[in-house]
Amino acid sequence: MSDMKDMIVDVVERMLKENVDKDLVDTVEQGKWAPKVWHLFKENGMNVVAISEEHGGAGGDLEDLLNIVRLTGKYAAPIPFTETTLANYLLAYTNLQVVSDLATHMLSTDQAYTLENAKLTGEAIHIHWARHTKHLVTLAISAEGTHLVEIDLSHAEITQSTNLANEPRDTVKFHNAAVSQVSAVLSLDEIRAITILETAFQLARMTGAIEKINDLTVQYTKEREQFGRPIHRFQLVQQHIVNLAGETTVALAAFNNVTDALLTHSHNSEVAYARIRFEEVIQAVSTISHQVHAAIGTTHEHSLHQYTRRLWSWRDEGTKISYWTDFVSTQLLENSGDSLWAYLTETKIPMTIEGVIFNG
């Protein structure tokens, strides 16, 4: 963890609290743009946290960055922060030059573009914020293999669309467009690492939204009275509160473990476990929060839906649960001989006991 973490988190939380409210999120949901918030983030160097100084970065590490992403989720910040910072992180990771304008990414191998003679062709849907951003960082497949490329979005034909939360999710089409940068051919491990990072950023943003939903809901049970007393006094509501707090606590701890694991390069299953577990968290948290808020939570007037609609959208974006259940089940299968316990507590210390290799 960087020494700066607490300070950065404080600064960002204050910035978001002061500058992002429901009305602003509404404005952006109506298709407008929030230049002031983005400008603030940029002015404070938040867009280049965790990028090395040789790449024009501002220091800080991945944990700092993921915590900023978490906060942008907590405030439903209507800016492509996750997108720009992940794009830059991946550019730096593959030894390409980071960009200073807004950027976005498309990291699905399923809809990767075709690369030939440094020209990109193809169409991909649901690209975050494409209409507002300048650079696209994407996977592209050439005769040699898979690359990460960076391309100027002014070369693209963009068709606007949105997700459930009215966040921009556009279709981006290229025809023989010149790319700005191309990475070397990526190994399967590197592609896996990109998927892990992408998922970690998603988890961060979802964690923030989950925290906010928990806060809004607990607050509501204190303020709302029925039958002459606040509703948190009713046992059935208490059951909701505990289940909500439980799921939120699990999500936060999972997120923290993921950042720890990434930082120490200790293991890579944490991201898989967390992403699989988040599916249940999101299901529980969104159901409980709406049930507790009752009718008011289903209205546009209340801010709850700004978070639940985002969660419902985000869980289906990027690398989904099916990828990670495949990942874990394959590991379980190929780990035969070992116990589940050995797998779950896998360490880096190999040890042999009478022909049985633990955690080799």
Q: Going along the chain, which residue ranges are E strands?
A: 103-106, 113-116, 119-128, 135-141, 146-152, 157-159, 169-178, 181-182, 225-226, 229-230, 351-353, 356-358
Q: What does the alpha-carbon distance between residue 348 and residue 264 come to, in Å, rounded to a whole number?
A: 12
Q: Which amino acid is at 36?
A: K
Contact region with another protein (CB under 8 A), list: 71-79, 128-136, 198-206, 330-338: 330-338
Residue 357 makes contact with another protein by CB under 8 A: no
Q: What does the alpha-carbon distance between residue 307 and residue 297 come to, in Å, rounded to a whole number?
A: 11
How near is the Cβ of 276 to another protein at its closest, in Å?
Answer: 4
CB contact at 8 A, 309 and 301? no
Instruction: Please list every residue from 287 through 326 that binds another protein, using CB under 8 A.
Output: 324-326
- Neighbour count for residue 98 (Cβ, 10 Å): 23
Question: Closer to another protein at the Cβ: 158 or 276?
Answer: 276
Contact region with another protein (CB under 8 A), list: 19-27, 98-106, 119-127, 263-271: 263-271
Q: Which of 15, 99, 254, 304 binds another protein (CB under 8 A)?
A: 254
Size of the site for another protein (CB under 8 A): 55
Closest by CA to 88, choosing from 10, 181, 158, 172, is 181
Instruction: Please list every residue from 185 through 214 that binds another protein, using CB under 8 A.
Output: 211, 214
Q: For residue 283, how many C-alpha atoms fall within 13 Å in the half-sphere facing its CB?
A: 6
Residue 222 makes contact with another protein by CB under 8 A: yes
List contacts with another protein (CB under 8 A): 211, 214, 218, 221-222, 232, 235, 238-239, 241-242, 245-246, 248-250, 252-254, 256-257, 260, 264, 266, 270, 272-274, 276-277, 279-280, 324-326, 328-330, 332-333, 336, 339-342, 344-345, 347-349, 351, 353, 356, 358-359
